[in-house]
Structure 1
Amino acid sequence: MQQTDITRSQTLGADLRALRKARGVTLAALADALGRSVGWLSQVERDLSEPSISDLRKMADVLGVPISMLFGQAMAPAEEAGHVVRRGARRQIGSGEGGLREELLSPDLTDDFEMVHSTFAPHSRAGETIQRATQEVGVIISGKLDLMIEGRLYTVGPGDSFRIRGEAHEWINPYDEPAVAIWVIAPPVY
């Protein structure tokens, strides 16, 4: 089967490049942190070389993502690759700590934004204030969620949407049922 540009966009190399760029890390800086050459890392990002599990662990650590983010992506049929993500093929992202389960809805990490399906467990909270250089919008699908944005509390429920523009924020689900949200973040943070 001949590989097309669409299927190539869902590769480990493209995701690594997108993560590296989203974090403002140069090819040289990442190669140095890994103890590898720039040439080798460039080949990995172009899918001409495969990193070892040890390399992947180091990459995940330097880029601040769980190692599972770098592999385990379900393959889509060629005609759907780069366009459709089936429910059972969503990639788990984030650490899962604090009662937040996140799944990537975007086909890969190569866009200027990422779309995330977030499930906030009952009686959970972020545990820290989050502030990042992003623009984020979301809509609550089910349940209720408390958002603290720049010190102001907002309670949002099904159908409510919100926006965060680089502001300090925290999420809290003090309720007895999970809250589910669709969250769009630009630029990507995972």
Structure 2
Amino acid sequence: MHQSEIRQAQSLGADIRALRKARGLTLVDLAETLGRSVGWLSQVERDLSEPSISDLRQIAEALGVPMSLLFGHASAPAEEQGYVVRAGARRPMGSGEEGLVEELLSPDLTDDFEVIHSTFRPRSKMQTPAQRPTQEVGYIISGRLDLTIAERCFSVGPGDSFRFRGEPYAWANPYDEPVVAIWVIAPPVY
């Protein structure tokens, strides 16, 4: 890989392209949603044009991600971008509204998978079971999490891991302690 290709793989444009593709959207689909031209969006994805804050807000909304997810590149020193994610520089993911706080551990969104640091607040639970076309593996670092995978119920704790592949799932932390887990998702969904 040439240096320019490495820089491209860890760019805002590359993340936008990865998010768009993960949602099955074409350039035309997203450009129409944004009310922009395909050419403009293509230039943004290739880092030839820099979107404004308003553009980023619209892009984040159209892709269903928090705007903060699109701001992680500038915080890392140039020599670390694409390689290292420092603990204090993780990009927040998801909305956090159900009591789940997620941070991206992967340097960007261009891999065939993503790695997430998840913290489930005490007495929190997923309101509606989800099902997505992914393979997911989780590893519990601390706390205890109740999982339902394809109508089977499990309680997992420190050192335990689990997997599901496209099955419906739900989680709950009915306990008084937060749960910290590492989650690997393929293909990326954020």
Q: What is the TM-score when the length of structure 1 is the normalising length?
A: 0.94
Q: CA deviation at 1:87?
A: 0.7
Report the CA distance between 1:61 and its aligned residue.
1.6
Equivalence for 1:104 = 104
SS of residue matched to 1:141: strand
Query: Where in structure 1 are there 5+ consecutive unaligned residues?
Result: none
Alpha-carbon distance, 1:56 to partner: 1.6
SS in 2 for 1:127: coil
- Counting only pairs closer than 5 Å after superposition, residues 18-33 of structure 1 correspond to structure 2 as 18-33=18-33
* Coordinate RMSD, CA, aligned: 1.3
Q: What aligned pairs does 1:140-151 form with structure 2 within 5 A after superposition? A: 140-151=140-151
Q: 1:74 to 1:146 in 2, by over 3 A?
A: farther
Offset, 1:72: 4.4
Residue 51 of structure 1 pairs with residue 51 of structure 2: yes
1:62 aligns with 2:47: no
1:73–1:89 Cα contact (<8 Å) kept: no
Displacement of 1:74 after TM fit?
Answer: 4.6
Please give the alpha-carbon distance, in whole angstroms, between the structure 2 residues aligned to 1:72 and 1:156.
Answer: 31
Retained in 2: the 8 A contact 1:74–1:91? no
Gaps of 5+ in 2: none
Q: Give the Cα separation in 2 of the matches to 1:58 and 1:189.
A: 18
| In structure 2, C-alpha distance between the alignment counterparts of 1:8 and 1:29, rounded to whole Å | 23
Deviations 1:120-167 (A, max 9, x none): 000000111111000000100000000011111100000000001011
SS of equivalent residue, structure 1 residue 81: coil
How many residues are matched? 188
Which runs of 4 or more aligned residues in structure 1 lie more than 3 Å from their structure 2 counterparts after TM superposition?
A: none
Identity of aligned residues (%): 72
